A and B are shown apart, each in its own frame.
Chain A
Amino acid sequence: MAAATALAALTLAHGAAAGPVLDAVKARGALACGTGTGTAGYMLADSTGKWKGLSVDVCRAVAAAIFGDADKVKYQPLTSQQRFTALQSSEVDMLVGNATWTLTRDSALGLDFVGVYYYDGQSFLVPKKLGVKSAKELNGATICVAPGTTTELNLADYFRANKMTFKPVVIEKVDEIRAAFFAGRCDVYTTDASSLAATRAANVPPPRTFDDFLILPEIISKEPLGPVVRHGDNQFADIVRWSLYAMVEAEEYGITSANVDEMLKSENPTIKRILGVTPGMGKALGVDEKWVYNIVKQVGNYGESFERNVGLGSPLKIERGLNRLWTKGGLQYAPPIR
């Protein structure tokens, strides 16, 4: 058994044979992707049961890289308390549950974050009639928050640092937190700004509307959201990492789902290498040379995914902001595909 593992490790190092996770994914014929229980724009099943969103697109990209088919994904909705256990116990192959990349999660859980698909940060949603314009005016407020999350810790840190008190209303399930907030059981709902935007866009119960609620301007934390894998299969981790980078790199080089077939004829050596016209990248990663072509054709580049799911043309109406490409003043940067 040790000998078999040893052999696997050697060949893995040379980029040929698959590790245990990739083997299981291939045998199953589908990627098992852990998501949250539902956040508009990021991960939500539509009326036909089809999962959509910016986070979901990372799973779709990985499936496109491995199978050439972005639909070969089995989605597993998980609460924030279930998600890491589900990944550790191999119930899922990867997580895109809008989990924040932190030191503790990256080190003590036997898991690795492989990139950042969305630079988020924690903020506060309030009804406009509360008459509050800044988080600094929330002293004494009742605040709805999910347990066991970094959100809960940041909340306590922020109020302590600003010498304010609050009364927490701790509820595990997202839909129950929202219900509590809209029913007035708490003055404030705190979580990542992305999620607050999603709630405001999709969950306000009539007769009230989007415009009756306000996201306060303060961002009180760094919440880099990234895909998570477990230790033990470096090749699979690399495929997840570079599938995400491929979406970012495609945007940087102007390759879109609409023009990717045209781009196959490009004379630009970088584009030829990215799209596998000049082979080598697929082999290094242990996937088909058309992996980036398949990702971009079926999922789109990062900018397309952002605009479609959460951007100004979507119900969430989130500005690109920090999630612009590094060439446009944002933080999204992929190391070169070469």
Chain B
Amino acid sequence: MTKIALAAAIGLATMLASGSALAGKDLDAIKARGAVICGVPTGIAGFAVADSQGKWVGLDVDVCRAVSAAIFGESDKVKYVPLTSQQRFTALQSGEVDLLSNNTTITLQRDTALGLDFTAITYYDGQGFMVNKKLGVKSAKELNGATVCVAPGTTTELNLADYFRANKMSFKPVVIEKVEEIRAAFFSGRCDVYTTDVSSLAATRAANVPPPATPEDFVVLPEIISKEPLGPMVRHGDNQFADIVRWAQYAMMEAEEYGITSKNVDEMLKSENPTIKRILGVTPGMGKALGVDEKWVYNIVKQVGNYGESYDKHVGPNSLLKIDRGVNKLWTQGGLQYAPPIR
């Protein structure tokens, strides 16, 4: 009964969304409620964590805030729902949340069989390498002959072997099953290198270094050797809302590319550059196409910052996590972050 009612609602929304300018049911519900409901992780430093005042902060959280700024002109109209990886897809499918910004890897199965869509890639994660600084290594390409701590029977182990083979290097594996034992082995010097996903390496460095050593004694190398693209997801049935989520992210990247920051955005309103005028709504049109206020990008950048500002604040070299921009640099700087044009 409930399923049929839900299905009817989805069906209707699909019909409305097809080729019409009407808002879909998700956007309608968000506006009526006065808040975006955003499914976030239960707590991952740098990505989504509630601070001592209960305020959610992080790279994933900034996606929710940007969507709120686009829809309401205020980035704080967000209700955060912490979800485990088991709960998250069901919560989105059932309408409990409007979107997920949940450190979720985009995969074929998740994009197809669940009735969900990813909108864009917020963070290119993947397997990387952490080393002790005294090893004097700046790149994974310099790891020939290294002793490497790795968990057994994982894709991580296969990727490791593939990468060394492809680069004509050898390594000596130290295979340990439990995460805390791998860390202990690495910090006690049983291996030169610890390999797993970069976000996890960064968290280990930030939280698990045994004194008197400090996080500064370790470095995560810039290479990413596998694909774990993280991005927000929405459910099928409201194309306009999906577009708002997608372009709110792209707006943060486009703002970085054009040098628009939270600090200079008011100055930028006076720019003569036609692209900047269009992005910031000085030349109207983009807001109308998306069905939001023409100042949507202004509001995002003013209140949340551009992508680079968000990255630096939450996970960048000056944050607790100290993750190199690496593949998350803009395409103009050698990275993969590329927004289609706002025009």
Instruction: Verify B273–A161 contact, CB threshold 8 A.
Output: yes
Chain A residue, CB-CB nearest to B108: A337
* The residue from B93, B240, B286, B290 contacting A13, defined by CB atoms under 8 A apart: B93
Nearest-CB distance from B94 to chain A (Å)? 11
Give every chain B residue within 8 A of A10 (Cβ-Cβ): 3-4, 6-7, 10-11
Q: 22 A-B pairs, CB-CB below 8 angstroms?
A: A7-B7, A9-B7, A10-B4, A10-B6, A13-B93, A103-B290, A103-B343, A104-B343, A107-B240, A107-B243, A107-B289, A153-B343, A222-B339, A224-B338, A232-B19, A234-B115, A242-B112, A285-B112, A334-B227, A335-B111, A335-B229, A338-B109
Binary contact readout A86-108 vs B (1 if CB under 8 angstroms, 0 otherwise): 00100000000000111110111
> Do A336 and B107 form a contact, CB below 8 Å, given A5-B15, A102-B341?
yes
Number of residues of chain B lying within 8 A (CB) of chain A: 64
* The residue from B14, B285, B289, B290 contacting A5, defined by CB atoms under 8 A apart: B14
Distance between Cα atoms of A273 and B136 in the complex (Å): 39
Give every chain B residue within 8 A of A231 (Cβ-Cβ): 17-19, 239
Give every chain A residue within 8 A of B239 (Cβ-Cβ): 110, 112, 231
Is A218 part of the binding interface, using a Cβ–Cβ cutoff of 8 Å? no
Interface 9-mer from A74-82, A190-198, A257-265, A325-333: A325-333
Is B342 part of the binding interface, using a Cβ–Cβ cutoff of 8 Å? yes
Distance between Cα atoms of A100 and B340 in the complex (Å): 8
* The residue from B12, B108, B274 contacting A285, defined by CB atoms under 8 A apart: B108
> Do A6 and B18 form a contact, CB below 8 Å, given A102-B343, A104-B343, A326-B336?
no
Give every chain B residue within 8 A of A13 (Cβ-Cβ): 10, 93, 114-115, 236
Chain A residue, CB-CB nearest to B279: A103
> Do A6 and B286 form a contact, CB below 8 Å, given A232-B14, A331-B336?
no
Instruction: Verify B8–A3 contact, CB threshold 8 A.
Output: yes
Give every chain B residue within 8 A of A142 (Cβ-Cβ): none
Is A157 part of the binding interface, using a Cβ–Cβ cutoff of 8 Å? yes
Query: B315-343: which have CB < 8 Å to A?
Result: 327, 331, 334, 336, 338-343
Give every chain B residue within 8 A of A160 (Cβ-Cβ): 274
Size category, A interface: 35 or more
Is A221 part of the binding interface, using a Cβ–Cβ cutoff of 8 Å? yes
Distance between Cα atoms of A245 and B118 in the complex (Å): 14
Is B43 part of the binding interface, using a Cβ–Cβ cutoff of 8 Å? no
Interface residue SS majority, chain A: helix
Distance between Cα atoms of A2 and B339 in the complex (Å): 37
Distance between Cα atoms of A104 and B286 in the complex (Å): 7
* The residue from A5, A112, A222, A280 contacting B109, defined by CB atoms under 8 A apart: A280
Is B280 part of the binding interface, using a Cβ–Cβ cutoff of 8 Å? no
Is A189 part of the binding interface, using a Cβ–Cβ cutoff of 8 Å? no
Instruction: Verify A333–B336 contact, CB threshold 8 A.
Output: yes
Instruction: Verify B286–A230 contact, CB threshold 8 A.
Output: no
Give every chain B residue within 8 A of A101 (Cβ-Cβ): 340-341
Is A15 part of the binding interface, using a Cβ–Cβ cutoff of 8 Å? yes
Instruction: Verify B117–A234 contact, CB threshold 8 A.
Output: yes
Instruction: Verify A107–B111 contact, CB threshold 8 A.
Output: no
Q: Which A positions have Cβ atoms within 8 angstroms of B?
A: 2-3, 5-10, 12-15, 88, 100-104, 106-108, 110, 112-113, 116, 119, 150, 153, 156-157, 160-161, 221-224, 230-232, 234-235, 238, 241-242, 245, 268-270, 280-281, 283-286, 322, 326, 329, 331, 333-338
Give every chain A residue within 8 A of B338 (Cβ-Cβ): 119, 222, 224, 331
Most B CB within 10 A of own CB, among A107, A238, A245: A107
Query: B141-169: which have CB < 8 Å to A?
Result: 155, 158
Nearest-CB distance from B181 to chain A (Å)? 25
Instruction: Verify B340–A9 contact, CB threshold 8 A.
Output: no
Give every chain A residue within 8 A of B114 (Cβ-Cβ): 13
Give every chain B residue within 8 A of A3 (Cβ-Cβ): 8
Distance between Cα atoms of A222 and B108 in the complex (Å): 27
Binary contact readout B232-268 vs A (1 if CB under 8 angstroms, 0 otherwise): 0000110110010011001000000000000000000
Give every chain B residue within 8 A of A108 (Cβ-Cβ): 21, 288-290
